[in-house]
Amino acid sequence: MDGIITMNDTTMTETRLFLLIPEKSRLDSIRQALPVAYDINEFDDINAMLVAVAEDEAPSLILCHQSLFEGDYNHQLSALTQQCPKSRVLIIGPSRPMTIQIAALKQGARGYFNEDLPLEKLHDAMQLVLNGEVWVERHVISGLIDELTHKPKISDAQRQALETLSPKEMEVANLVSHGATNKMIARQMNITERTVKAHLTAIFQKMNLPDRLSLAILFRDLR
């Protein structure tokens, strides 16, 4: 589907996954679409999942249906991401306005998967999120960056750190800020996707940034 951030093929290792999908038929469809390598635990509501997290290790990924947050979206999603800071959260649900998807990102989710897409793409979205990226339509990322960058907030330390980036790292960072995927960057720069990932890792370390979205926002401020 045009306009969706996609990911590269990666080697799958078993991942602890919590599914918060209230509707059984939808849950069954999702389970059937996912590879068997996921260690899956299922929950009907957020409170039941939080009890499980308190008693045991938090999962690497939480897949929640959007219907769980209807009526109190910001509070409930924020509570979930704050109580599971090491877990990455992906929302799945019907098509929603850009404002809803932006709200999900601002409250700590790593993406919004439109369930109108083929479920075969869900594994791609989950792996993308696990690799520190986001899964949303490109115009949503653009809208989020616009909303967060009315006033540039570049610290002196970040400006100094910029001087430590190599020309190649600067080029990668600028392409990321325009919404390019690793595959697109590799093609444009005539390098491998592995090299792109190495550049990104170096950039995150030098700039003290947690993820790709933070990098995109920072370099959008610089433009």
Q: What is the pLDDT of residue 9?
A: 39
| 202-216 mean pLDDT | 85
Report d(CA 50, CA 223) in Å as an integer: 41
Q: What is the pLDDT of residue 95?
A: 83
Give the start-to-end residue ranges of the domains of the chain.
Answer: 15-146, 154-222
Whether residue 124 is predicted with pLDDT greater than 80 in this model: the reply is yes
How high is the mean pLDDT of the chain? 80
pLDDT band at 85 (very low <50, low <70, confident <90, very high): confident
Pairing status of strand 38-43 against strand 61-65: unpaired
More confident residue, 98 or 41: 41
Q: Does domain 154-222 have CATH number 3.20.20.70?
A: no
Structure tokens at 150: 């009315």
Most confident of 64-73, 86-95, 145-154: 86-95
pLDDT band at 73 (very low <50, low <70, confident <90, very high): low
- The CATH fold assigned to 15-146 is Rossmann fold (3.40.50)
Tokens 């696990």, located at residue:
130
